[in-house]
Amino acid sequence: MLAPKAFLDALSDQASRLFSGDTAAPRAELESQFKVLMQGAFSKLDLVSREEFDSQMVVLARTRARLEALERQFAELETRIAPPTQE
């Protein structure tokens, strides 16, 4: 998936090709209005940048590793304090 800015630029380029026969001024105005419209639509969505997503994935991986280490320590401590089984 493209980043929002790259998506807008690609969409703008496609719109430019569609209206290539028109004069530059109306086309530029249309592109500007279209970008504003799309940015407004994107601002209503809960989108994050790829960099932010990747950094959160790193944080999640570290948190998961720490949780697994703590679970192992907890299990080890439980076995140490558990009373011996009577058979």
Kindly report, residue by residue over 5-59, the tens digit of the pLDDT. Answer: 777 777 777 767 666 665 556 777 878 888 888 888 878 888 888 999 999 999 9
How is residue 61 written in tokens? 């991986």
How is residue 45 written in tokens? 């969505």
The span from the CA of 29 to the CA of 44, in Å, is 23
